[in-house]
A and B are shown apart, each in its own frame.
Chain A
Amino acid sequence: MADKHTVLKVENLSVNYGYISALEGISLHVDQGEIITLIGSNGAGKTTTLMSISGLAAKAEGTVWFKGENITKMAPDRIVKMGMCHVPEGRKIFPALSVYENLIAGSLGNPSLTKNRIQELIEEQYRLFPRLKERIGQAGGSLSGGEQQMLAISRGLMMDPDIVMLDEPSLGLAPIIVEDIFELILKIRDMGKTILLIEQNASMALSIADRGYVLENGRIIMEGKGRELLADPKVKAAYLGA
């Protein structure tokens, strides 16, 4: 179905919460090695899109293809084990687990990892986030917001995924830390991962994205190259505050 460079393909996806429809037939695709961003205001359906892709929210209609396989009806834990990492909104780290245990929990998502590989991955996280190494024995809940976000991302990277889906990684963080996070996203792409990024911080997201989709009231109203969307007057007016 999906051609071999397309990692993730969503066709005509609809999601309802009770009688309210949250998504009305959206379609998007993410190719190998791209950074794709999905922007939109509060309640546009961004988080719902990710939740239904990773199987946490029930789909009313539509199909999701991941690496050429139909994952529409697959259980969330099996989707993860195929190589999809979803870093949820609000970080959702395990507060009473230590930083190290949080990382190990991340590695559970990929049963093919050997002990040595897990150790390598942990070293890799230390390089990406030197701060985590200092806090390795501390409880996850004792970290600051920015550190928790970093932990959530590196917990996801511990499963050595093919695609990383980030849900509002900049939410509630100080501007200087937001810049760190976006630099990090570029680094993760350079490691060979494909990225689907959801953001309210549209200007930042579009400036690093290869392509972007604009979501409004559960529909995709615009799509295009990151820079083109950034220059689009309608996007500017609605999301960039210009």
Chain B
Amino acid sequence: MEYFLNQLVNGLCQGAIYALMAIGYSVIVGVVGMVTFTYGEIMMIGAFSAYYIFQALGNNLPLAILAAFAGAFLIGVIVYKLCYEKFFNAPRHISLLCTIGISMLIKNLAQIVFGPETKPVLDVIENRTFTVMLGGIRLDIKLLQIVVIVLVIVLAGTLTLFFNKTKWGIALRAVSQNKDAAYLMGINVKRTALIGNCIGSGLGGIAGILLSIYYYSVSATMGGAYSMKAFAASVLGGLVDIRFSALGGLCIGIIENLGIAVSAATFRDVFAFGFLILVLLIRPQGFVSKKGVRV
């Protein structure tokens, strides 16, 4: 029982990171209107941007997070220019294939530039553990986990405010719902889509550095599985709903960690993708309620 509860805490923390990944992913898909497979590489670039900040300036977490956001944001610009801008009116599979190609390119270039080996990311957050006694059950919560969860909540809250309370946010949501109508509102759709894509990428970059801190390592090939997990999580919200994507991320985190508690750690991904397949079988359109929406 104690072990399960501790795994639940681990799952919550990892789920929070997955939630951030999924939020970024659904922002991209929502605003651009096309599925992306470069997301894992964007996260990896974010993680490496932060890694070099750690190398150069020591373990400065706020600065590293800014660097991760900025690095991923810039890669977002490149991906947008190469994979989306020319293909808004083309069949969707063209930009989809394009993102797969760019993903391979970035991954391999990264292996040349950053080196193929896994690099350690150590002691960014002080290794301290808080012990909570809950009716005779001993729960160990790491400072790292608290920092991660708080950070994800703050970022998600900021994003929600941005989307709901600012003109930029309304423009982004308008573009994600109907591009032609958005043009007729005088919105520069291409620029807005670019910015939405980059904001989503930036969030992915931050998720990348959080994963590196969580696993104490960063490598050029880290992106692949996470890209698929971000996709799996946002399937819950039909790929575009931010709240359901976050929930999906949280679910995957918890399912993975409880799953490996009853099996072995090597089966981690089985549970994540089992969840994806299950959701796709039951409700491929996602769980967003369409009630009250007449079109």
Could you list which residues of chain A lie within 8 angstroms of chain B, going by C-beta atoms?
54-56, 75-78, 80-81, 85-88, 92-97, 101, 104-106, 108-111, 139, 141-145, 155-156, 159
Contact = CB atoms under 8 A, between A and B. Distances in A.
B185 A105 contact: yes
Nearest to B167: A108
Contact of A93 (B181, B183, B187): B181
Task: Find the residue from A78, A105, A159 having the highest chain B CB count within 10 A.
Answer: A105
B173 interface: yes
Contact of B184 (A76, A141, A143): A76
Contacts of B174: 94, 97, 105, 108
Q: Report which residue of A81, A95, A108, A144 has the largest number of chain B beta carbons within 10 angstroms of its beta carbon.
A: A108
B241 to A, nearest CB: 9
Contacts of A104: 167, 170
Contacts of B293: 95-96, 139, 141-142
Given A92-B178, A142-B292, A142-B293, A80 B185 contact: yes
Contact of A80 (B170, B186, B294, B295): B186
Contact of B295 (A86, A95, A108, A155): A95
Interface of B: 167, 170-171, 173-174, 177-178, 180-189, 292-295
9 contacts: A56-B183, A76-B184, A77-B186, A96-B177, A97-B174, A97-B177, A106-B185, A108-B186, A139-B293
The 5 tightest CB contacts between A and B, nearest first, are: A109-B186, A80-B186, A141-B293, A92-B181, A76-B183
Given A56-B180, A139-B292, A142-B292, 4 more contacts: A80-B186, A96-B173, A105-B174, A105-B182
Contact of A54 (B184, B294, B295): B184
Nearest to A109: B186
Contacts of B178: 92, 94
Contacts of B295: 95, 141
Contacts of A139: 292-293
B173 A94 contact: yes
Contacts of B173: 94, 96-97, 101
Contacts of B185: 80, 105-106, 108-109, 155, 159
A54 B180 CA distance: 11
Contacts of A110: 186
Contacts of A93: 181
A86 B292 CA distance: 27
B245 to A, nearest CB: 15
A77 to B, nearest CB: 5
Contacts of A92: 178, 180-181, 184
A155 B185 CA distance: 8
Nearest to B186: A109
Nearest to B288: A96
B184 A144 contact: no
A155 B170 CA distance: 13
B165 to A, nearest CB: 10
B28 to A, nearest CB: 17
Contact of B170 (A56, A77, A105): A105
B294 A108 contact: no
